[in-house]
Amino acid sequence: MPTISSRVDPSTPRAKQGKRHFNNEAPVQHAGFGKTLRIFWNMLFNKPRTTRPVGAIPVEPLTRQQLLDAPDHSVFRLGHSTVLLKLRGKFWVTDPVFAERASPFGWAGPKRFHQPPISLEDLPDLEAVILSHNHYDHLDRNAVVRLAAKTRCFLAPLGVGDLLIKWGVDADKVRQLEWWEGTEVGGIRFVATPAQHFSGRGLFDANQTLWCSWVMIDGARRIFFSGDTGYFDGFKRIGDHYGPFDLTLMETGAYNVDWPHVHMQPEQTLQAHIDLKGRWLLPIHNGTFDLAFHAWHEPFDRIMALAWERNVAITTPPMGRAFSLNQPERGHAWWLDVEPQGLEERLVS
């Protein structure tokens, strides 16, 4: 397998690289030391109680046999940004995080609201693991190591693949891509597309690995996975080049006015979906970890109301329930069963 495949759009600006340091296409305002310290202080000591659910998040357990029996073009949310897709009779998973905490520590950091619908052991063999960047809520070392034996290929942005190899993944299984580069796995075309974010797993490795979104092309079917990103004009370029998309898996959660350039507000998520020429929107990056100051259910409330207002087809399946691209359904507002206050009341307040 090649380490880096040929670029598909050489006319588009590539990620800038110098001494293993990556940048966004447009300058992004960074928080100063004082602001960063204030954010961390508030995260530790001033979190509203509404950032965690008072009731149990509904999870529909999955078995290996259920997955094997599922039709092609089935999509399963497993939690946060972990999505299992069945395409061409094979399985693909985005940003697999099965850890109890999205943290470098097992005893501290954001703790899961719910368990995954299926264990790592019970997952069927995977054609590919698709990684967007190296943050702990997207790159789970234990999951990667345990999935390595049953995974044919790991698709990663530049630098992230080096980390996988360091952890023991066979280098022949790892493909690292720059923005706008593409490769094919199991008959599916993958393109690493730009995102507006940052990377780092420690104090001294900021932006030393790349971050990206992903385009997946399965014949006439097209799926977009946003990873983590702020809103930027790249969505329009991706939509013009590769759209329309049958399904967009879009970050909708962990936003805040203090970090507007690296995570989207729900209004921006919806606009990004429109820019991409998306048909169905599935909001992800929510419902599993406490990563911001908004109520845990707020991303669902806001994106659902916005989609209704703009007549955008949106689906919000509970964790573990299949969404079918062949017979798409809107699903239901399952989070209202967890919190007794209704959607209309919350929107008014």
pLDDT per residue as tens digits for the range 34-50: 656 666 656 666 788 99
291-315 pLDDT per residue, tens = 999 999 999 999 999 999 999 999 9
pLDDT band, residue 267 (cuts 50/70/90): very high
Rg, C-alpha atoms of the chain: 19
Residue 164: per-residue pLDDT: 98
Is the predicted pLDDT of residue 7 greater than 50, yes or no?
A: no
Buried b (16+ CB within 10 A) or exposed e, 182-208: bbebbebbbbbbbbbbbbebeeeeebb
Residue 44: per-residue pLDDT: 61
pLDDT band, residue 331 (cuts 50/70/90): confident
Rounded mean pLDDT, 273-290: 98
- pTM for the full predicted model: 0.92
SS3 track for 305-344? HHHHHHCCEECCCCECCEEECCCCCCCCCHHHHCCCCCHH
pLDDT band, residue 228 (cuts 50/70/90): very high
Rounded mean pLDDT, 154-164: 98
On the 0-12 / 13-18 / 19+ scale of CB atoms within 10 A, 96 is buried
At 192, the amino acid letter reads A
Tokens of 67: 């997955």
Q: What is the DSSP string of 55-110?
A: SPPPB----HHHHHHSPTTEEEEEETTEEEEEETTEEEEES----SBSSS-SSSSP
Q: What is the DSSP string of 277-288?
A: TEEEEEEES-SS
Across the strands, what pairs with 217? 189, 222
Question: What class does CATH assign to 56-348?
Answer: alpha beta
Is the predicted pLDDT of residue 165 greater than 50, yes or no?
A: yes
77-133 pLDDT per residue, tens = 999 999 999 999 999 999 999 999 999 998 889 999 999 999 999 999 999 999 999
Residue 195: per-residue pLDDT: 98
Residue 28: per-residue pLDDT: 77
